[in-house]
Chains A and B, each alone.
Chain A
């Protein structure tokens, strides 16, 4: 069993209250940072830790922090992105529900490091009950003197606010999030300028995922070097993986990066294998927007090496034979899964969630969904399959924000690896569109 840095005390009774959390070593990082470290030293520790953004892109958090512009006399902001709404990803929700004080502790330490005097947690609109948990925890932190004026007598003051979104996936894109936080329509902004220069209210802003911020207290307590010892290469530390789909034990696991994918799926410590004794067909390893991989390619890379749960290993082979660690939404599909139907379902989501601002994504997501719907329901033709690839290509890389890619990648990858299955839907429309119908031929591996 790997080390648990974030979730060690997650099942302790009453850990969501300040008292119990404090008793289990909570808020030590705030004391340590505010009393013994300068803000730059905290940033330096995060840099040393090699911590990478846990929201999906995997950008080094310390580097992001050091990019923050610091003009004199201009306020800066730390914003926590808690708009977790990627299908298959549900780690942040659990973390905030069970350990609200861990996030708050991370926000205080992080805000101190960045010199922010007001910070925000932007939470997904559907998670109103989590918002209440956070607000209660924030009130406790204020009462205990960890928030507000002159924290622990250090002279540093911080206000922390929780703000609910309206329930839009696009508001998880950092600039759309900032627009929404400002009270505007959640359309992603054109970049540059980047948030580090002009973010919230046109001030320098850092936007970090919940899990990224929750890792900060651990890094400050144990030291960046110690944190970096866990993991492999540039994938350091632990990562929460929300495993779902046809698994014996779906759930949220904190793994040390570097765990073999095979062990994660089949070992009893983790997911315990595929349910009902069935065979694994495919895996979406990092939330619905990353390319889907057939069983053979998710367990072993094209070169025959064991696939590991790291940023590098999962993306080995690029998008031809690889995928991404993404946000850690691990969706396993057994042999009875219809890939066409599944792709259509993902596509429907992106069609629904496109903000409609730029034309390739606005028009293309709907188009792909309609073509996939046609294929799934037995009305497709062979050239529809190529059409899908072509439309996906027309969207990819040409949009304002990454939602276009998020919509295009799963479609392109599904056609790449499961083209026979799409063709089977065209040649056997009646059979394929029947409920529960599934193609059992081999996947395309290269």
Chain B
């Protein structure tokens, strides 16, 4: 075990834990943002530089500060380490700079982006960015590419976090997509269009922190904050898929299916493409109840409508809930939603 001080708060974590994960144990607003690091993906992290922190004392044995800011997602803790994040002005300034760098070639097409509302870059920019830009040049753009029958790659929005590359590499037996080119001309690519047909390929959509990889069965169907997440499961027959998912409802319709994510947007259990793309009827699923959504999320601003198709569900709801729903019927939008 190692004891570290993060932003003045002491926390004890097992040896080998990264600074970021130690901070996540404390939780709250002091947790550094992570745009590329993804706990379940081996080798991820260190690229976006959003999580840079100041180590003002390396360890109890060697209390010298580290000369440069370090990426908290890949730096492991040492006993007696003192880390400064939100209390360090240099860290905050650098983070602002990172937001700026990530945004200069981003199209900022949030109004028509399917990721809006659950986008890590949007949240990151909201928390640390500035409202003006100093970038006057033309932005980098790419053509949209279908990298499979069900997934679209909109490279213009990509921040090159490499998460999808690691996902494809570690989840599927034959990796068919990677990074082509270099510098600001590098792009995620399959080289040959429409080649991804692996049963777990849909997970690249879930790991994408921005709207670069989108679910073609959901594109432009609905703003995410008008949909309601409900946890559900089914007896999935695909090998290695346990069928535990989140269904996103609009009224009575399941608009999309995703894997379940934790508070930091990380998927712990991957799901197969059958669950994700093919099972869009409530009758395919056993509902477990509303998924937990952070109060800070725009999705939480919506009221839950009851997906009343499966009678089993209503039976299982506690009486208080049904009574509440009768007395206070869910918000409906101008009759469009009946």
Residues of A within 8 A of B (CB): 168, 170, 185, 190, 351-360, 362-367, 370-371, 387, 390, 394, 397-400
B48 A356 Cβ-Cβ under 8 A: no
With A190-B46, A362-B184, A400-B46 as given contacts, are A185 and B179 in contact (CB-CB < 8 Å)? yes
Residues of A within 8 A of B100 (CB): 394
Select from chain B the residue with minimum beta-carbon distance to A354. B183
State which of B47, B97, B159 has its C-beta within 8 Å of the C-beta of A394.
B97
Classify the secondary structure of B's interface with A: loop
State which of B46, B69, B105 has its C-beta within 8 Å of the C-beta of A358.
B46
B97 A353 Cβ-Cβ under 8 A: no
Residues of B within 8 A of A400 (CB): 46-47
Complex Cα spacing A360 to B71, Å: 13
Residues of A within 8 A of B97 (CB): 360, 394, 398
A-B contact pairs, 5 of them (CB 8 A): A359-B98, A359-B101, A359-B159, A359-B160, A398-B97
A398 B135 Cβ-Cβ under 8 A: no
Q: Mark B180-216, 1 if CB is under 8 A from A, else 0.
A: 0111111000000000000000000000000000000
**Residues 95 to 117 of chain B near chain A (Cβ within 8 Å):** 97-98, 100-102, 104-105
Closest 9 A/B residue pairs (Cβ): A356-B186, A394-B97, A354-B183, A190-B46, A363-B101, A366-B184, A370-B137, A356-B183, A359-B101
Q: How far is the CB of B129 from chain A (nearest CB, A)?
A: 13
Q: With a 10 A CB-CB cut-off, give which of A351, A394, A398, A399 has the most chain B CB atoms.
A: A398
Select from chain A the residue with minimum beta-carbon distance to B43. A190
With A364-B101, A367-B137, A394-B94 as given contacts, are A359 and B183 in contact (CB-CB < 8 Å)? no
Residues of A within 8 A of B178 (CB): 185
Select from chain A the residue with minimum beta-carbon distance to B105. A363
Residues of A within 8 A of B71 (CB): 190
Q: How far is the CB of A250 from chain B (nearest CB, A)?
A: 30
State which of B74, B105, B134, B137 has its C-beta within 8 Å of the C-beta of A190.
B74
Determine if B49 is an interface residue (Cβ-Cβ < 8 Å).
yes
Q: With a 10 A CB-CB cut-off, give which of B102, B183, B186 has the most chain A CB atoms.
A: B183
A397 B68 Cβ-Cβ under 8 A: yes
Determine if B259 is an interface residue (Cβ-Cβ < 8 Å).
no
Q: With a 10 A CB-CB cut-off, give which of A356, A357, A359, A363 has the most chain B CB atoms.
A: A359
**Residues 114 to 153 of chain B near chain A (Cβ within 8 Å):** 134-135, 137
Select from chain B the residue with minimum beta-carbon distance to A384. B136
With A387-B134, A394-B101 as given contacts, are A358 and B183 in contact (CB-CB < 8 Å)? no
Select from chain B the residue with minimum beta-carbon distance to A371. B137
Determine if B52 is an interface residue (Cβ-Cβ < 8 Å).
yes
